[in-house]
C-alpha cells in the first residue's frame, strides 16, 4: 500500500513544483497541499474503504483547481495548464473511477463524475463516463436522456445523441419521456442545420460536395419518431405533448397538420382532444390588429364564440362528466380574465350562468336521482 501511495504522490510533485515556480502558490502552501494529499491518499487504501473518504479527497482536489483558477485570473498568468491542471484532473478522474467501481449503485456518484468532467474534463472522457454509467444503470430512462443531451449540447454530436436515444428505446420501448426528448432533439438538430445552411447561403460560401440532408432539414426524421411513438403509446395527452413540441419550431407546419389530423381521427372520444381543439380557436388567425379596445374585444368575442361552438359540438357525441368539466373550466377561466369592456364581461357572465342553470345543475340532479334509485 505504501508503495502505491508513494508513487501517486511522486506523480504530483512536478505539478506542485510548477505552481511554486510560476508564483501561483508559495513554498509553504505547496508543502501543506502535499501533506494533506498524503493523508487523504492513505485513507483511500485502508482495508475497509469509506465512500466519504473518496468524496473528501475529490472535493479537496476540486477546491485546489478552483483556487488555481482564481489566482491565475488575479495575476494574469494563463500558461502551463498541461503541467499544472491536467495532472490534477487526471487524478480526480482516477479517484472517481475507483469510487464508482466500488459503489456502482450510487447514481449520485456517477452524476458527480459527469458534472466534474463537463466543467473540467475532456469531451472524450465525458463520453466514456456516460457509457460506463449507462452500462451499469440501463434501467433508468432519465440517465439515457441526460447522456443524450450531453452528447448533443456538450460534445455537439447529434449522431451520438441519436444513437443513445435508439439504445434507450430498446430498454424502454414505451417510455413517453424518452420519445418526447428524442423527438425534441431531432427537431432542434434540424433547426440548427437550417440555420447553418442559411448562414452559408448568405455568405455565399461554396461547401463543395457537402449537401444538407433534405430529410433532416424538413423534419422527416422527427416525423418517423412521431409515427413510431404514436403506434406504441396511445392517448391524446401524449400526442398533444408531441404537437406542443413541434409547435415550437417554425418549419414544422406539415408535421403539425399531420399530428392534428391523427389526433382528430383517432381520439374523437377523448375530452382532451376536444378541449385542445376548442382552445385552439383562441389562437387561430382572425381579424387584423385592431387599435381600439372595443375592436379588440369584438375580435376576442368572436374567438370565444368559436371555442364554445367546438365544446357544444363535442358534447353532442361525448356527453360525459369530463367533457362538461373541460367546458365549465374554460368558461370560468374566461370569466376570471381581466377586461375593461363591459359587454364582454356581461357576455361571459351570462354564459357561465346559462351553463350552470340549464346544463350543470340539471345534470347533477339527474345523477343524484339515479344514485338514489340504485340505493
Q: Kindly report, residue by residue over 327-353, the tens digit of the pLDDT.
A: 888 887 877 766 555 555 666 566 666
Residue-wise pLDDT tens digits, 95-137:
999 999 999 999 999 999 999 999 997 788 899 999 999 999 9
Q: Name the CA dihedral angle for 342, 347, 352, 357, rounded to a multiple of 10 degrees.
A: 120
C-alpha cell belonging to residue 306:
368559436
Of 12-16, 181-185, 276-280, the range with the lowest mean pLDDT is: 12-16
Q: What is the pLDDT of residues 156-198, one digit of tens each?
A: 899 999 999 999 999 999 999 999 999 999 999 999 999 988 8
Q: Of 122, 205, 209, 124, which is closest to residue 160 (Cα–Cα)?
A: 124
What does the pLDDT read at residue 54? 96
Query: Is a pLDDT exceeding 60 seen at residue 209?
Result: no
| Of residues 121, 125, 150, 147, the one with CA closest to residue 136 | 147
Confidence (pTM): 0.84
Asked if residues 54 and 91 have their Cβ atoms less than 8 Å apart, the reply is: no
What pLDDT was estimated at residue 200? 83
Residues in the chain: 375
Task: Inform me whether the pLDDT recorded for 321 exceeds 50.
Answer: yes
The CA-based diameter of the chain, rounded to the nearest angstrom, is 94
pLDDT of residue 218: 84
Amino acid at each position: 500500500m505504501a508503495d502505491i501511495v508513494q508513487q501517486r504522490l511522486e506523480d504530483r510533485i512536478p505539478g506542485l513544483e510548477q505552481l511554486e515556480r510560476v508564483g501561483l502558490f508559495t513554498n509553504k502552501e505547496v508543502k501543506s497541499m502535499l501533506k494533506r494529499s498524503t493523508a487523504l491518499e492513505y485513507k483511500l487504501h485502508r482495508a475497509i474503504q469509506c465512500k466519504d473518504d473518496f468524496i473528501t479527497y475529490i472535493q479537496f482536489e476540486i477546491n485546489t483547481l478552483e483556487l488555481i483558477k482564481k489566482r491565475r485570473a488575479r495575476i494574469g498568468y494563463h500558461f502551463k495548464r498541461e503541467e499544472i491542471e491536467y495532472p490534477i484532473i487526471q487524478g480526480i478522474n482516477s479517484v472517481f473511477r475507483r469510487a464508482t467501481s466500488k459503489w456502482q449503485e450510487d447514481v449520485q456518484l456517477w452524476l458527480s463524475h459527469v458534472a466534474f468532467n463537463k466543467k473540467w474534463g475532456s469531451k472524450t472522457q465525458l463520453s466514456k463516463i456516460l457509457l460506463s454509467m449507462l452500462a451499469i444503470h440501463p434501467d433508468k430512462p432519465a440517465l439515457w436522456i441526460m447522456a443524450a443531451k450531453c452528447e448533443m449540447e456538450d460534445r455537439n454530436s447529434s449522431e451520438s445523441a441519436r444513437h443513445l436515444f435508439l439504445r434507450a428505446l430498446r430498454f424502454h420501448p414505451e417510455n413517453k419521456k424518452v420519445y418526447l426528448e428524442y423527438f425534441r432533439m431531432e427537431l432542434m438538430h434540424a433547426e440548427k442545420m437550417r440555420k447553418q445552411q442559411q448562414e452559408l447561403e448568405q455568405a455565399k460560401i461554396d461547401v463543395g460536395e457537402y449537401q444538407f440532408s433534405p430529410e433532416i432539414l424538413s423534419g422527416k426524421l422527427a416525423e418517423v419518431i412521431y409515427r413510431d411513438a404514436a403506434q406504441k403509446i396511445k392517448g391524446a395527452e401524449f400526442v398533444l405533448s408531441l404537437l406542443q413540441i413541434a409547435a415550437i419550431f417554425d418549419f414544422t407546419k406539415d408535421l403539425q397538420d399531420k399530428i392534428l389530423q391523427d389526433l382528430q381521427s383517432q381520439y374523437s372520444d377523448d375530452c382532451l382532444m376536444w378541449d385542445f381543439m376548442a382552445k385552439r380557436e383562441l389562437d387561430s388567425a382572425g381579424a387584423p390588429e385592431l387599435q381600439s379596445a372595443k375592436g379588440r374585444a369584438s375580435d376576442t368575442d368572436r374567438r370565444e364564440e368559436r371555442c364554445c361552438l367546438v365544446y357544444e359540438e363535442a358534447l353532442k357525441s361525448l356527453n360525459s362528466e369530463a367533457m362538461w368539466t373541460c367546458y365549465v373550466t374554460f368558461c370560468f377561466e374566461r370569466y376570471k380574465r381581466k377586461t375593461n369592456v363591459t359587454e364582454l364581461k356581461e357576455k361571459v357572465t351570462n354564459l357561465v350562468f346559462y351553463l350552470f342553470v340549464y346544463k350543470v345543475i340539471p345534470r347533477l340532479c339527474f345523477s343524484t336521482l339515479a344514485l338514489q334509485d340504485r340505493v
